[in-house]
Amino acid sequence: MRRPLAAISTVVVLLLLAGSVLGGSSSGELALKFPVVWSAGGAVGKKFLVRAGVSGFPLVVSGWDVTARSGFYAPGTRLAVFRSGRMLGITQAGSGGLSALLSSPVPDGELVEVVEGMSFRAGQVAYGAWHSLVPLPDGRVVARGANHYGQLGDGTVQTATSAVFVKDPAGGGDLTGVVQVAAGTGHSLALLSDGRVVAWGRNQCGQLGDGTTVNRSLPVFVLDPVEDRPLEGVVQVASYADSSFALLRDGRLLAWGDNYYGTLGDASRTNRSRPVFVKGVGSSEYLTGVLQVAPGGRHTLALLSDGQVAVWGVNTNGQLGQNKTYSQLSMNGKPLLVVGTSGSGTLTGVVQVAAGYWHSVALLADGRVVAWGGNGSGQLGNNSTTDRTYPGYVWGVGGSGYLTGVTAVASGGYHSLAVLSDGRVVSWGSNDRGELGNGASGSSAYRLVPGYVLGVGGTGQLVAVWVTGKGQSCAAVVPDGGLTAWGTNSSGMLGDGTTVDRLYPVPVNLP
């Protein structure tokens, strides 16, 4: 991640037409032209570039926020924000204008592309072990799959292969105002537009953050670390297994739930039923400057504003990236910095991180990808099944050179995914339930290097703007805003109305 640039003093809005910038101005005055109408798969909208931090235009992108004044967009207009090809968020204008959070902040002075017509928020579709959550443009959430602990949030414990709406805390209506969701093994989290967080489902380790260990079939508010009131000021939530995380607007990180392996980063192994602050690297009291948190099965990654990566938890397979084996470093319940690709120094230039059960993945600013940790299924993408204790480059498609031109990465339990600059999606690693999306399954279909995911319906190659994975399930947002999914579907969590595993992407049914 590049360090934030100084805010520019003049307003510059550049509009794209067929890849060329129109209406430039050498004198620095406002330069505006109508944005070009675009069409993809039947969706029609407009796209243009906006420079972050500029306040003189009706649409403003600044830090974590994207806002538009009332009347600039018709109510219901959907906007997607991209930075360097990576989608940071999708939101919908209301009668009072537009105000939304991005999945990561944009430094002042950098250009972002704004596209009309997309249907889903980036990074919002969430998979648990056997359930899924999808937020709708109107701020409600649909859930599917297993519901043994109430993780669907509909007030019941009945499994649902068809979409059900998550209820509000009182159970009298649907939960609204949701801007992001996350899912653990048997619990769920939702970030609300006012910066508060609700949680529901399994709670035996305190992963709901309400100060109890009581399971909840309806959402409850996550508590503040100190005061007896709901937590506020959150910009991202994340979860894996029975641990939960919340990134605050000031760059500090909170964690709660299961801490047996030190995954909460508070220098203890004590479970927490309400949030605690993640400790800092070295002598620092708190971890600060966090841009993204990516929890894995038993370890956690945090992307820092200087492009370095902090990591903590268990090190069974080298997933802490310290160039140390398990016998040298079994676990660390306090953040450390991941070392560089030479095995020393620190890894820098990182713009996104992802974590699997035993492995870690990082996208670099130059479009290459590095990975480290467990590799028994080939999830590091380096044409081997040997674990790696420090970052190494992922190989290119088919084993040619290194993988380049990547705009986003994701990880399942034992496999990895990447979106390329042309929108095609590649996958590598385990494929027991079709999670690679290549039309096959089983150990004989594992990939040790990246290969292309098939297109929707099993033909061609998948083109997407965003992809996610958890366990053995995957989902992607395609250019027309539609949602597609593949992999394990034993509880109906893929959302195609069946419980049949899918070996290639299929459309997700939504209300």
Per-residue confidence (pLDDT) for residue 114, from 0 to 100: 81
Q: Is 237 exposed, middle or buried (0-12, 13-18, 19+ CB in 10 A)?
A: buried
What stretch of H or E contains 503? Answer: strand 502-507
Per-residue confidence (pLDDT) for residue 354, from 0 to 100: 97
Least confident of 145-159, 370-384, 425-439, 481-495: 481-495
Could you tell me the residue ranges of all domains in the chain?
13-116, 121-278, 297-394, 418-511
Strand 350-355 relative to strand 331-337, pairing: unpaired
Residue 138's pLDDT band (cuts 50, 70, 90): confident
What stretch of H or E contains 86? Answer: strand 86-92
Segment 347-356, tens digit of pLDDT: 999 989 999 9
List Cβ neighbours of 346 (8 Å cut-off, separation of 6 or more).
Answer: 308, 337, 338, 339, 340
d(CA 470, CA 357): 9
* Amino acid of residue 140: R
Segment 177-209, tens digit of pLDDT: 998 999 999 999 999 989 999 999 999 999 999
Tokens 């130059």, residue located: 366
Per-residue confidence (pLDDT) for residue 68, from 0 to 100: 84
**Sheet arrangement for strand 160-165:** 126-127, 131-135, 141-145, 160-165
Per-residue confidence (pLDDT) for residue 96, from 0 to 100: 82
Q: Which two tokens stand for residue 444?
A: 């004989």
pLDDT at 148 over 50: yes
Residue 91's pLDDT band (cuts 50, 70, 90): confident
d(CA 48, CA 60): 13
Least confident of 12-21, 234-243, 419-428: 12-21
pLDDT at 110 over 70: yes
pLDDT at 263 over 80: yes
pLDDT at 33 over 60: no
Per-residue confidence (pLDDT) for residue 465, from 0 to 100: 84
Per-residue confidence (pLDDT) for residue 5, from 0 to 100: 23
Is residue 433 within 8 A of residue 441, CB to CB? The reply is yes
Is residue 495 within 8 A of residue 134, CB to CB? The reply is yes
pLDDT at 122 over 50: no
Average pLDDT rounded to a whole number, residues 320-326: 97
Residue 211: count other Cβ atoms within 10 Å of its Cβ. Answer: 15
The closest alpha carbon to 103, from 497, 489, 465, belongs to 465
CATH topology of domain 121-278: Methylamine Dehydrogenase; Chain H (2.130.10)
Per-residue confidence (pLDDT) for residue 117, from 0 to 100: 64
Average pLDDT rounded to a whole number, residues 76-93: 77
pLDDT at 7 over 70: no
Residue 60's pLDDT band (cuts 50, 70, 90): confident
Is residue 412 within 8 A of residue 471, CB to CB? The reply is yes
Residue 119's pLDDT band (cuts 50, 70, 90): low
pLDDT at 142 over 90: yes
Q: Chain-wide mean pLDDT for the chain?
A: 87
Which value, in Å, is the radius of gyration of the alpha carbons in the chain?
21
Average pLDDT rounded to a whole number, residues 44-54: 71
pLDDT at 228 over 80: yes
Per-residue confidence (pLDDT) for residue 46, from 0 to 100: 65
Residue of 246 and 477 predicted with greater confidence: 246
Per-residue confidence (pLDDT) for residue 47, from 0 to 100: 67
Least confident of 91-95, 259-263, 333-337, 418-422: 91-95
Per-residue confidence (pLDDT) for residue 26, from 0 to 100: 28
Residue of 340 and 15 predicted with greater confidence: 340
Q: Is 156 exposed, middle or buried (0-12, 13-18, 19+ CB in 10 A)?
A: middle
pLDDT at 227 over 90: yes
pLDDT at 14 over 80: no
d(CA 216, CA 347): 40
Residue 17's pLDDT band (cuts 50, 70, 90): very low
Segment 467-502, tens digit of pLDDT: 999 999 999 988 777 899 999 999 999 999 999 999
Per-residue confidence (pLDDT) for residue 2, from 0 to 100: 31
pLDDT at 24 over 90: no
* Amino acid of residue 9: S
- Strand segments (E) across 197-340: 197-201, 216-221, 234-240, 243-248, 253-257, 272-277, 290-295, 299-304, 309-314, 331-337
pLDDT at 28 over 60: no
